[in-house]
Amino acid sequence: MDCEYDRKALAPATAMSAPTPARFAAVIVAAGQGLRAGQPLPKQFARWRGKPVVRHAAEALVAAGAGPLTVAIPEGADAIARDALAGIPEVRLVTGGATRQASVRLALEALEADAPTFALIHDAARPHCPVDVIERLLDALVVNPGAIPVLPVVDSLALAEGGLMAGSADRDVLRRVQTPQAFRYDAILSAHRRWTGAAAAGDDAQVARAAGLAVALVDGDERLRKLTFAEDFMDALPFPRVGTGYDVHRLAESEELWLCGVRLDHDRGLAGHSDADVALHAVVDAILGATGQGDIGQHFPPSDPQWRGAPSSRFVEHAVKLAREAGYGIGNVDLTVICEAPKIGPHRDAMRARLADLLGVAIEAVNVKATTTERLGFTGRGEGIAAQAVATLVPLERI
C-alpha cells in the first residue's frame, strides 16, 4: 500500500508547487508508568473500549499512513507490548529512557536508517487520533519545521500561590497543547540531540523551540483527550446488557400455584417439571439472554429427574451466579404476568419483595405488573398463564 501523504487544499498557496512529501514515520511514547490511572498495569497497556490503550493509538496512526511506527516502552515490557500491538505492521519497540524527552530521542534514533521526511510524535495515553488533525499537521509542515494541535482555553485562569489566588492569566493568548506533534524528521532529531534544558521536557514542541525551530499551531480536537485518572477509564467498562424472557405453563387441577416464588391460593396451579413458576422462568431466561448463556431448558432440562418439583428460586440463583461470573450484576427487572385469574394486584408487593431477594437487589429495582388478553387466546380462556420479563445487567464495577 502506498502510504504517501496526499496534500489537501489546506496547504498554503505558496507551497502548492512543492513536491508531495514522502510518507511519514511515527513515534508513540509509551514508556511511562501511568500510575495515576489506577490500573493494575501501566495505563498505556490497560484495556480501554476492548483494546489496550496503546493499540488504539497505533492503529489510528497506521491507518492514517504512518510507517514505520516506533513505540518507546518501559524497560522489561517487551512481552506485554508485543501482545498489545500484535498484528500491526511496521511496529518497532524501543526501550525508553529515564524521561519522556530521552524516550523520544531514542525512538527517533531508531528511525534514522529510514530517514523519513516527517515524524509524528504521539502520546500513547491519547487513544484517539483523528485523521483530519494529522492532515492539518502535515499541511503545516510544508512550510514549517514543526506543528502542534492546540485547543482554546475556555475557562478563566487563576495563578495560585499558597492555596490562594495570586493573579490571573489571559486565556486569549493561551492554548491547550495536544499530540501528535509533527516535525521534519531531521530537524526534531537534531533538536533532541542538542537538548540541554530541564531533565523533564514537557513535550517535543518545547525541545523544538529551544533549538530555534518555528512551531505552527493547527486546530486540535477534543477527541484527543488524554487518559490520566481512574475515572477516565470508566467508559472502558462493558456496556449494560439487556435480555428478554417469555414462558408459558398450563393451569391444572391438583397443582400448586407459584408466581415469583410466592404461593398463591387458587383452584388450580401451574403444571410443569419443576414448580412451574412461570414468572421466575421468564426472569431466568431474561438474565441468561443478557449474558448470552442460552435458555432455561439448556441449564435445567425437563428430562433431568433432579429438577422434578424443584423450586424455581434455584434457577434464578443459578442465573444470577452466571451473570456475576461474566462480570455483571442485576440492574433492574421488569416482569409482566399475563392471566385472567388469579388477580395479581393483592400479591404484587410480596412478589416484588421475593423476586428482589432472589436477585440480590433493592425492591425498587423490581417491577411486577399484570395484564389480561381480554379473554382471547389460551390465557383468556383460563387454560394457562404466561409471563414476559426484561432484565438489565450492569458491569459489577458500576454497582
Is the Cβ–Cβ distance between 119 and 26 less than 8 Å? yes
Confidence class for position 38, pLDDT limits 50, 70, 90: very low
Taking CA atoms, 304 is separated from 307, 315, 321, in Å, by 6, 14, 21
Confidence class for position 237, pLDDT limits 50, 70, 90: low
Alpha-carbon dihedral angle through residues 249, 252, 258, 259, given to the nearest 10 degrees? 40
Tens digits of residue pLDDT in 220-230: 999 998 887 77
Does the domain at residues 241-398 carry the CATH identifier 3.30.1330.30? no
Confidence class for position 309, pLDDT limits 50, 70, 90: confident
Best-predicted range by mean pLDDT (86-90, 337-341, 395-399): 337-341
Is the Cβ–Cβ distance between 336 and 387 less than 8 Å? yes
Architecture of domain 13-235: Alpha-Beta Complex (3.90)
**What pTM, to 2 d.p., does this model score?**
0.59
DSSP reduced 3-state for 18: coil
Tens digits of residue pLDDT in 321-354: 999 888 899 999 999 999 999 999 999 999 999 9
Say what percent of the chain tops pLDDT 70.
88
Task: Name the grid cell of 171.
Answer: 486565556
Confidence class for position 236, pLDDT limits 50, 70, 90: low
215-219 and 118-123 as β-strands: parallel, antiparallel, unpaired? unpaired
Please list the residue range(s) of the chain that carry CATH number 3.90.550.10. Answer: 13-235
In 7-145 the beta strands, taken as DSSP E runs, fall at: 25-29, 47-48, 51-52, 69-73, 91-95, 118-123
Confidence class for position 235, pLDDT limits 50, 70, 90: low
- Say which range, 2-16, 265-279, 282-296, has the weakest mean pLDDT: 2-16
- Say which range, 36-50, 172-186, 209-223, 367-381, has the weakest mean pLDDT: 36-50
List the Cα angle 135/136/140 in 5-degree steps. Answer: 115
- Mean pLDDT value of segment 88-111: 93
Please list the residue range(s) of the chain that carry CATH number 3.30.1330.50. Answer: 241-398
**Nearest in space to 87 (alpha carbons), one of 51, 126, 134, 46:** 51
